[in-house]
Amino acid sequence: MKTIKFCLTRTFRILCIPPHQAYNSQNMDLTPLSWLLAFLPILTVMVLMLAFKWGGMRSSAASWIVTVIVSMAFFGGTWKILAWSQIKSLFLSFNLLYIIWGALLLYSLANEVGAIRMISDAIPHLSSDRSLQVLTIAFLLTSFLQGVGGFGVPVAVCAPILVILGFNPIIAVVLTAIGHSWAVAFGSMATAFEGLISVTAVPGIQIAPYVAAFFALSYVPIAGIITVLSTGWKSLWKTMPAILAISAVMSLTLYILVTNGLWSLGSIGPSLMGLLTMFLITRLPAFRGKANPGKPAENKQSFLLSIMPYILLVSIGFLIILIKPLNQFLSQAQFSLSYPEIVSNLGLVTPAQKSDTISFFSHPGSILMYSILISSLIFHFKGYFKAGALRRILSRLAHSAISASLGVITMVGVSTIMTHTGMTSMIARGISEAVNRGLYPAVSPFLGALGAFLTGSNSNSNILFGVIQKESAHLLDLSVPLILAGQNAGASFASVMSPAKLIVSCTTVGLADQEGIVLRKLLPLLLVPIGLVAVAMYIWALIMGAGL
């Protein structure tokens, strides 16, 4: 109680008196206590979600309040830092929310015309094998959509399909989240990977082979987890030849693409080849099973027209990625903010900077909007909309998007306040100084994972921790590309379980406020691929002569 009173009094004083009188200007030393204080916001979210099963929005809000108190009481935070952090986080959130709102609107539109039901009815035609059906949706389709759309789209589209196929909504979110976790690093035009390259100035061509190897290692475990969770251990052995074949094709495609500099196709290419392999496998008698025609069609709507929003999303996404002149033309209208230099009361300087540039017309959110507008026109002229459709679509969108938006804004706010007061770098510094040279390669993916959990983004984790990882690798005489690859892979896997992303994922299957339960299931499962990368890095570093 005394500590709370002390913190509140100090926070109040700092808010009410001029910065130069507020705090003795001293740099915060790295001690176990200061490290623990810096880690407190992350601990708050994890404890509230995992132990108390709080929803993502409430946990994020609690973490935000803890961050404000800790940063002001111990890390030289000021009201100016709080204000600028909030402005920056709102701008950063806009970048994400535009995609989230677009993805949710697309889903709401597709649901209104019965496309989700039609897709789930069509899946049994591909194969009667339930394991292969789930792998197609949760592993391959999600990864492909991550390559095209990014944030929120894969789970928003695929989890409801699994629910209609009869899966529990919690399992549906877990399956789809883990299924595309590898694809985040090279998804959305490889923005996360490009971010890592730009902050560290290490050529991507040096990092890419390691990342490809780590993801290739993760395909079999991820597909295995999906199969066991959905259909049990027995079917795993039956499905294993298919899993191995698909993983081998995807690994080879990924390696060829990213080692030739085509990292923007690093998610799309392997998942497309995986889908093609899956199609060929389902033509084999052993995997085709008995013909399962499904239910007879209840209406005369065209299947192809009904899934038009998704066809358009993929086509327009591809066109904008691959046709450079079109991309350049659409990227002309840009928007960014400039921020002044911000100094904390402990003397930590965040230099004046420009925000990320938002290219409005080539933004993934705009690609979603183009798909929505064109398909809405087609549905309108074809008479697919029933009375009151617009109201239903917008109502569904608003109900699912508001809670998600509040969660995202507060969680991004936590991350920006922590960055401006040096809390994030203290966490990273603590880890890199506490771990010895031999063990650091195994720890580096977990550091990337921590950044992604906190910020909800592989890109932000790379930007936050990329330089620290590079410096640590230099100091410890380790291979820099190897360590950066571990950072990127760890962040990719963990980003799907961040509170910000879980809120979005859960809203589409009616699991609002149950993100804590989903996280409890997802966390141990995602530790498998992250742990695997850690072990692989440890062995690799030993082979390369890092020694113990």
Partner 1 sequence: MKFNLNPSRKFRFQVAIFAFEAIITFLMYLALRTDHILLGKILSSLLILGIFSLIFLQ
Which residues are bridge partners to 349 per DSSP?
A: 343
For position 40 contacting partner 1 by CB under 8 A, the verdict is: no
| Residue 72 Cβ vs partner 1, minimum distance, rounded to whole Å | 10
**Residue 87 binds to partner 1 (criterion: CB under 8 A):** yes
86 forms part of the interface with partner 1 (CB under 8 A): yes
Task: Write out the two tokens for 231.
Answer: 């259909």
Query: Least separation, in Å, of the C-beta of 64 and partner 1?
Result: 5
Q: Does 402 bind partner 1 (CB under 8 A)?
A: yes
The reply on whether position 412 binds partner 1 by CB under 8 A is no
Nearer to partner 1, 216 or 401 (CB): 401
Q: How many residues in the shown chain lie near partner 1 by CB under 8 A?
A: 26
- How distant, in Å, are the alpha carbons of 67, 117, 166, 228 from that of 231? 42, 21, 12, 6
Is position 409 an interface residue for partner 1 (rule: CB under 8 A)? Answer: yes
Tell me the chain's radius of gyration from C-alpha atoms.
23
Taking CB under 8 A as the criterion, the residue among 1, 4, 16, 548 binding partner 1 is 16
Nearest distance, CB of residue 107 and partner 1, angstroms: 18
Q: What is the DSSP letter of 181?
A: G
Smallest distance, Å, CB 388 to partner 1? 18
Q: Is 403 in the site for partner 1 (CB under 8 A)?
A: yes
**Which pairs with CB-CB distance under 8 Å and at least 24 residues apart come from 24-32?**
25/76, 25/345, 25/346, 25/347, 26/346, 26/347, 27/346, 27/347, 27/348, 28/74, 28/75, 28/76, 28/346, 28/422, 28/426, 30/426, 30/429, 30/430, 30/433
Show the tokens assigned to 343: 């100094």
Site map for partner 1, 347-386, x if CB under 8 A?
----------------------------------------
Binding range to partner 1, per CB under 8 A, among 55-63, 230-238, 350-358, 524-532: 55-63
Give the angle subtended at the CA of 547 by the CAs of 483 and 494, to the nearest 5°.
30
Q: Could you say which of 57, 189, 397, 427 contacts partner 1 (CB under 8 A)? A: 57
Using CB under 8 A, pick the residue from 10, 13, 53, 80 that binds partner 1.
80
Residue (306 or 507) nearer to partner 1, CB: 507
For 339, the 3-state DSSP assignment is strand
Cβ closer to partner 1: 8 or 297? 8
Smallest gap from Cβ 173 to partner 1, in A, equals: 20
What backbone torsions phi and psi does residue 260 show, to the nearest 5 degrees? -110, 15
Alpha carbon distance 139, 129 (integer Å): 15
447 touches partner 1 (CB under 8 A)? no
How far is Cα 523 from Cα 497, in angstroms, rounded to an integer? Answer: 7
What minimum distance in Å lies between the beta carbon of 337 and partner 1? 9
Nearest distance, CB of residue 15 and partner 1, angstroms: 6
* CA 434 – CA 436 distance, rounded (Å): 7
Rounded Cα distance between 482 and 524, Å, is 25
Question: What tokens appear for 440 in the block?
Answer: 């650091």
The CB-of-344 to partner 1 minimum distance in angstroms stands at 15
Told to check if 13 binds partner 1 by CB under 8 A, we report no
What is the nearest approach in angstroms of partner 1 to the Cβ of residue 464?
22
Q: How far apart are CA 15 and CA 140, in angstroms?
A: 51
Alpha carbon dihedral 487, 489, 491, 496, in 10-degree steps, equals 180
Residue 373 vs 398, nearer CB to partner 1: 398
Tell the smallest beta-carbon distance from residue 350 to partner 1 (Å): 14
Nearer to partner 1, 62 or 423 (CB): 62
When the beta carbons of 82 and 427 are compared against partner 1, the nearer one is 82
User: How many helical (H) and strand (E) elements, i.e. helices and strands, does the chain have?
Assistant: 26, 6
95 is an interface residue for partner 1 by CB under 8 A: no
Helices (H), 113-203: 115-126, 130-134, 142-148, 153-164, 169-179, 187-200
**In angstroms, what is the minimal distance from the CB of 141 to partner 1?**
31
**Phi, psi angle pair for 334, to nearest 5°:** -125, 155
Q: Which two tokens stand for residue 309?
A: 């929003």
From the CB of 374, what's the least distance to partner 1, in Å? 29
Q: Return the number of the residue (312 or 412) whose C-beta is nearest partner 1.
A: 412
Nearer to partner 1, 87 or 311 (CB): 87
User: Interface with partner 1 includes 291 (CB under 8 A)?
Assistant: no
- DSSP state letters, 38-101: HHHHHHHHHIIIIIS---HHHHHHHHHHHHHHHHHHHS---HHHHHHHHHHHHHHHHHHHHHHH
- Whole-number Å distance between alpha carbons of 378 and 384: 9
Residue 90 contacts partner 1 per CB under 8 A: yes
* Residue 357 contacts residue 94 (beta carbons within 8 Å): no
Residue nearer to partner 1 on the CB measure, 57 or 367: 57
Nearer to partner 1, 42 or 243 (CB): 42
Is residue 61 close enough to count as binding partner 1 by CB under 8 A? yes
Q: What is the binding site for partner 1 (CB under 8 A)?
A: 15-16, 57-58, 61-62, 64-65, 68, 79-80, 82-84, 86-87, 90, 398-399, 402-403, 405-406, 409-410, 413
